[in-house]
Amino acid sequence: MKSKHLYILFLLLFGQVFSTVAQYNQSLTNYTLLKNNPEDLIPVTDLSLHTFALIVPDQEKYHPLINTLNRYADISVYTWDSFQENKNSFSTLIAVFDDSDKEPFQALDDFRKLNAQSKKRIVLTFGAEWEDIRDEKSAVLWAANAHKTAQENMAMTVFGGLASTQGIKTEQTRIQYTFGKGSHFNVKKLEHKIDAIAEEAIQQKATPGMVVMVVKSGQVILEKAYGNHTYDGAIPTKTNDIFDLASISKIVGTTPVIMHLSEENKLNLNLNIGDYLPEARKTNKKDISLRTVLLHEAGFIPFIPFYKYLKPDDIVSKEDEKHQTQIEENVYLANDYYKNIMWPEMLQSKVNAPGKYVYSDISMYVMKEVAERITHQPMDEFVANFLYNRIGMKTAGYNPLERFAKERIVPTERDTAFRKTLIHGFVHDEGAALAGGTAGHAGLFSTANDLAIYAQMLLNRGKYGGIQYYEGETVDLYTSNQSLSSRRGLGFDRRDPNPEYEYPSKWANRSVFGHTGFTGTAIWIDPENQLTYIFLSNRVHPERSGKLFELNIRSRIQDAIYETINEVN
């Protein structure tokens, strides 16, 4: 901890720490009345402790409620009849009662009797008849009607997207899905600007589709999908589509694990690779500090084209005992290829003089190895259990076909190098594919919404959903400038201080941090303006193209966002 404090002192001296506290902006009046709240159940905190069932009298009528609840957690939806066979499968029960039920009060009595396995109960009531309902063992929320906005507000109140200001008071603890309602921003004008840029990108074949998301002061201002998964237009892009994030994996997959281990005093960035990896002690990497690795100043070469090392018998079209690593449909890799070929090659690779910034994927291969030696657990499992499952990042993870339908995942490149097929549901990056889909530098897939949750946690200096995942000082340390020779933070990329580059935007201030991805993705987080901008695309489809860069699509959209903010400020 002493070394961390020295770094913070260094940063303070150079004016580089932006320890702003999240400034949630609840611009709407929440008429949801929270009448009872045993054990402070509302707002729900650690989502990994709950399995949710929602019981509604009419699924179509309560679609706005269902849709908003599912923004925060996986919710299984039942009617009263269908729920009876599944009542023991869930830890937390949410039931809706309104005047449309023939015997609503009888249903409420039945719900109160569901005490098996210490289930937690949440009662959502709509209509004047229910205003006086009390239930000591259930959290009870009431709204005067079941109109769309009332349903959405009640759902957000359950999970902390909206603070309760009626009855029992609560605070906003999660992102709010009100899409600029009540804010001072000209959302329509912003949307028109982004629409035009997105249309240009699609018409110029910079990318077949994209998702853009903007969150300001904890409120989703804009979330919109454009185009299609492919240029044939067969599947329209949707806001909840899952994208290959490419190098955003570095700051959303690997770096949060490193941050956690450093807080637990299990990892010291001032120590060297050789202190954590015994096999590195007889190589040219043994005395390279982890800090320089995260800064891309370790002297590593940028990358190694591992797929060119493949021998004819390393790849087969059908799984067998010697080929059990699937890297695409009908493509299987020799067992332990990463362990036997890739990792030894990285350990023996050339190292140049340290101290100069050279962006290298090898850096995060190394950090993943270090993390897994400390945790004795695969990195993908560790980050999911420690962070994603608890915070509500429902899609973020590696090898998405193990959890999601292929149609929901956006395809990337038609690989002509070694997989000889359209890459769909498997990681685009060749090295990450050969490593089994999980690598330190690539492999993570996610929706825009999950990235927005992660970004808001960082804007909150480590806190989200009522839980402090990181110390504020840790977030400040990793996301602020840590180098005397580059713009980089620890793992995180940052705004370029040279105004000629206008990176990532000509309006970006010096607090801005984030990362881009080769597949056509970007996330930029601005503590000074409490702003998150997310851009997801598959610009490498059907083949790699530089049009997204040539047209400056990502930065121009970010410029439009800042212009909208500046109009208010």
Residue-wise pLDDT for 442-489, tens only, equals 999 999 999 999 999 999 999 999 999 999 999 999 999 999 999 999
CB 221, CB 215: distance < 8 Å: yes
pLDDT at 524 (0 to 100): 98
Rounded CA gap, 403 and 391, in Å?
18
Q: Does 72 map to a domain?
A: yes
Residue-wise pLDDT for 105-143, tens only, equals 777 887 877 755 568 999 999 998 888 887 888 999 999
DSSP lists the bridge partners of residue 414 as 422
- Statement to judge: residues 522 and 401 lie in one domain: yes
Other residues' Cβ atoms within 10 Å of the Cβ of residue 138: 24
Q: What is the DSSP string of 152-208?
A: HHHHHHHHTSS---EES-----S-B--TTTTSSS-HHHHHHHHHHHHHHHHHTTS-S
CB 290, CB 262: distance < 8 Å: no
Other residues' Cβ atoms within 10 Å of the Cβ of residue 356: 12
Number of domains in the chain: 2
- Statement to judge: residues 145 and 248 lie in one domain: no
pLDDT at 209 (0 to 100): 98
Q: What is the CATH number of the domain that holds 515?
A: 3.40.710.10
Rounded CA gap, 395 and 252, in Å?
13
Residue at token pair 């908003």: 68
Give CA separation, 407 vs 235, 396, 412, 424, in Å: 8, 16, 13, 9
- Statement to judge: residues 416 and 549 lie in one domain: yes
Rounded CA gap, 151 and 154, in Å?
5
Q: Are strands 513-517 and 493-494 parallel, antiparallel or unpaired?
A: antiparallel
Q: Does 334 map to a domain?
A: no
Domain that holds residue 65: 33-167
- Statement to judge: residues 564 and 424 lie in one domain: yes
- Statement to judge: residues 424 and 547 lie in one domain: yes
Q: Are strands 209-216 and 219-227 parallel, antiparallel or unpaired?
A: antiparallel
- Statement to judge: residues 247 and 143 lie in one domain: no
Amino acid at 14: F
CB 61, CB 483: distance < 8 Å: no
- Statement to judge: residues 250 and 116 lie in one domain: no
Burial 521-560 (b: 16+ CB within 10 A, else e): bbbbbbbebbbbbbbbbbbbbbeebeebeebebbbbbbbb
Three-class HEC string of 276-341: HCHHHCCCCCCCCEHHHHHCCCCCECCCCCHHHHCCHHHEECCCECCEEEEEECCEEEECCHHHHH
- Statement to judge: residues 392 and 540 lie in one domain: yes
Other residues' Cβ atoms within 10 Å of the Cβ of residue 233: 11
- Statement to judge: residues 144 and 264 lie in one domain: no
Q: Does 336 map to a domain?
A: no
Domain edge (last residue) among 167, 195, 222: 167
Q: Does 348 map to a domain?
A: no
Rounded CA gap, 284 and 538, in Å?
37
Low-confidence ranges of the chain (pLDDT < 50): 1-4, 7, 9, 12-15
Domain edge (last residue) among 167, 192, 226: 167
Structure tokens at 151: 């349903």
DSSP lists the bridge partners of residue 331 as 328
Q: Can you tell me whether residue 59 is helix, strand or coil? A: coil
Q: At what angle do helices 472-479 and 255-263 cross, to 10 degrees?
A: 130
Classify residue 264 by burial, with Cβ atoms within 10 Å: 0-12, 13-18, 19+: exposed
DSSP lists the bridge partners of residue 94 as 54, 122
Give CA separation, 414 vs 316, 491, 506, in Å: 18, 30, 34
pLDDT at 86 (0 to 100): 77
Q: Does 488 map to a domain?
A: yes
Cβ-based neighbours of 10, under 8 Å, separated by 6 or more:
none
Rounded CA gap, 37 and 108, in Å?
17
Q: Can you tell me whether residue 52 is helix, strand or coil? A: strand
- Statement to judge: residues 461 and 561 lie in one domain: yes
In 3D, which of 509, 504, 505, 508 has the Cα closest to residue 493?
504
Rounded CA gap, 334 and 182, in Å?
57
Q: Does 318 map to a domain?
A: no
pLDDT at 85 (0 to 100): 79
- Statement to judge: residues 249 and 101 lie in one domain: no
CB 39, CB 136: distance < 8 Å: no
pLDDT at 21 (0 to 100): 56
Q: Does 316 map to a domain?
A: no
Domain edge (last residue) among 167, 202, 231: 167
Q: What is the CATH number of the domain that holds 54?
A: 3.40.50.2300
In 3D, which of 510, 513, 530, 458 has the Cα closest to residue 14?
510
Q: Does 332 map to a domain?
A: no
pTM of the prediction? 0.95
Residue at token pair 């933070």: 489
- Statement to judge: residues 55 and 140 lie in one domain: yes
